[in-house]
Chain A
């Protein structure tokens, strides 16, 4: 009953603590520390980390760089969207807009690319399926990550940040070819 009565001891902060509580707090604290060290550990030894590279940008500026890449490296078209095959190791661009990921990228397996992502209008979610990598794409910001596709095949970019009535139509593609 004393949970809703004043503590039985006036100086309650000087009462001793029970054994299981001390033990449990110790265990929980150790576990919290392990979870803390896992993150820096993964930054050093793990292979899946986001870069800290990002820039402020504007929709026209980003669009211009996407267009430049498209004219230079276009190799085909699917459903009216250009397919682009930039050289391995280069900077590649993809933009999100209502309701499309543009353009379609063709990458080589086990090669690294500097992938630049931004949005032309609202927030979008870059959700690479079925790999399941999820990134927040924010208008006015350009995110740069180095990706190394280690599987060949067809991959889909689903938009997983709600962006209006056509949200469910917003798909993109990344094709990864064996080299």
Chain B
């Protein structure tokens, strides 16, 4: 029985079971995003002090759920879909052990539901970090463990699929760059899940009384091996998505396979160690250890991101120039398809991740500068730039690509899709910038009441801090609106979008494959190597992508200036030694 279909629009071959798994994971991710978004609205409307919507207990409960659903469930479900796509679809091969993949998916769903129930019951408002000795209900930890085991199975299915593709020789030469990036994400994911197991299994046993004591400092060190590395999976995954989108939209080829792959390799070697920047102001950890992990480990990963920051838009520029958009520095960018949400989402994700997320991350990850930033609202501002815009918007852009290709539906309300990346980026950027400002003024994160109503002693933040939190509130609401537009378009497309192929009915969008007649390919042709360039452009005298180089220099200038401003600010606080 034939198990592949070829998408007439994109030319991608879809293995039937891989396709269903991608759909199911993407839909589960979107459901998590929906939960995260609704809870996020509660969070931002409470932090906006003039509105101050929720009571304290509900606020902390909502904040816990928002963090876990957004940072773990949404992202990892979607990444599973990306792993299956980057292995089975891109390499034109059958998926390894689809039954195991479904078992993994089921475990992830059970884990997600279990964890959400624990939070909903109200005894597990411990935040995503769940720092021991603050204790949550046992099924809070168990849910996370089951989810992680499910994700681990997905990682091994991905690796198995790569092995099958290699054995069956379904492609010529080396695996494509996007698959290479997904492999990077998968390796980091396995490391992440191992850290999670090392800390969450004992914590679970402690919560049911089998273990007497969890050391609070040790918990933080190992938990961050899970907590931050999980965000490194995102980086590797969304950089791969950037390359994929650049390839699909522009026919862009990596400027240099060697450089881009080397940058991914740097992620594998160093990114996880960078998790140390969460414990820069903890007792009991030496300066040497902090400096080593910050500089040697984190900066080599930063180097990798700076490389991708040049090569991704650079590859777009080269492709655009080859099409004749050669006027001046930026015609290639001005004439890009700004009305296509796949492009605008991709490009805003790239810019906001680099300029805001990247720079703030390095600054606050500096050993001494962390003193003026640790646990202020600056921290969530930073990771909203990296994850909520960088990763999430890249995945949103990819969704607009996948709805016709994977789900075989036309976009529902295309005008809304067109505006979505703009509304989401504008709102989130507004929120992020003003949260950064408020954090610099000392406003703390994870805090219900910046008025400290009812406290025995009194303290008042400056009026500017209140204004900033208010503007951040407006931005956050706009961001949630942008998120809602995304969900309306995606869910609407699955339910009401015009069918592009014979469909298996309503449920095909939720994991069921298309009608059997669509699958008419027994074995796809072997994936050829990319065509050679007619003229070898590399190594010639001029630059291929001068516009991108100028953009990169602009990034560097912002980076340097902002970095030293923060040292200057640090120099103004009380001397410590």
Chain A residues engaging chain B, CB cutoff 8 angstroms: 1-10, 12-13, 15-21, 23-25, 27-29, 31-32, 35-36, 38-40, 42-43, 46-52, 54, 56, 78-81, 100, 117, 121-123, 125, 127-143, 145-151, 156, 158-165, 167-173
Contacts and interface: CB of A to CB of B under 8 A. Distances in A.
Given A18-B545, A32-B302, A129-B442, 11 more contacts: A2-B530, A3-B243, A4-B247, A15-B256, A46-B368, A46-B570, A46-B571, A48-B575, A135-B374, A143-B284, A164-B134
Nearest to A143: B283
A133 B367 contact: no
B475 to A, nearest CB: 22
Interface in B275-325: 279, 281-284, 286-287, 291, 294-296, 299-300, 302-303, 306-307, 310-311, 314-315
Contacts of B1: none
Given A23-B549, A49-B368, A136-B281, A168 B447 contact: yes
Contacts of B552: 24
Interface residues of B, number: 119
Interface string B251-273: 11111111101000000000000
Contacts of B541: 19
A100 B299 CA distance: 38
Contacts of B283: 54, 117, 136-138, 141-143
B84 to A, nearest CB: 14
Nearest to A33: B299
A50 B295 CA distance: 17
A31 B368 contact: no
Contacts of B282: 136, 138
Contacts of B286: 52
A162 B173 contact: no
Q: Give the 3 A-B residue pairs with the shortest CB-CB distance, closest first.
A: A2-B530, A3-B247, A160-B444
B177 interface: yes
Contacts of B210: none
14 contacts: A5-B176, A6-B172, A7-B257, A15-B256, A15-B257, A17-B258, A38-B567, A48-B371, A50-B368, A131-B574, A134-B372, A141-B283, A150-B575, A159-B444
Interface in B451-465: 452-459, 461-462
A111 to B, nearest CB: 11
Given A4-B177, A160-B375, A79 B456 contact: yes
Contacts of A127: 375-376, 442, 444
A134 to B, nearest CB: 4
B455 A168 contact: yes
Given A78-B457, A79-B456, A140-B215, A28 B307 contact: yes
B559 interface: yes
A170 B455 contact: yes
Contacts of A149: 574
B260 to A, nearest CB: 9
B120 interface: no
Contacts of B517: none
Contact of B90 (A4, A145, A164): A4
B532 interface: yes
B362 interface: yes
Interface string B42-82: 00000000000000110010000000000000000000000
Contacts of B560: 31
Given A20-B549, A143-B283, A146-B577, A29 B456 contact: no
B248 interface: yes
B548 interface: yes
Contact of B295 (A35, A100, A150): A35
Contacts of B441: 130, 132
Nearest to A170: B455
Nearest to A158: B444
Contact of B252 (A3, A134, A158): A3
A4 B176 contact: yes
B217 A138 contact: yes
A52 B414 CA distance: 58
Nearest to B577: A146
Contact of B573 (A12, A48, A81): A48
B89 to A, nearest CB: 9
Nearest to B318: A18
B529 A167 contact: no
B174 to A, nearest CB: 5
B442 A4 contact: no
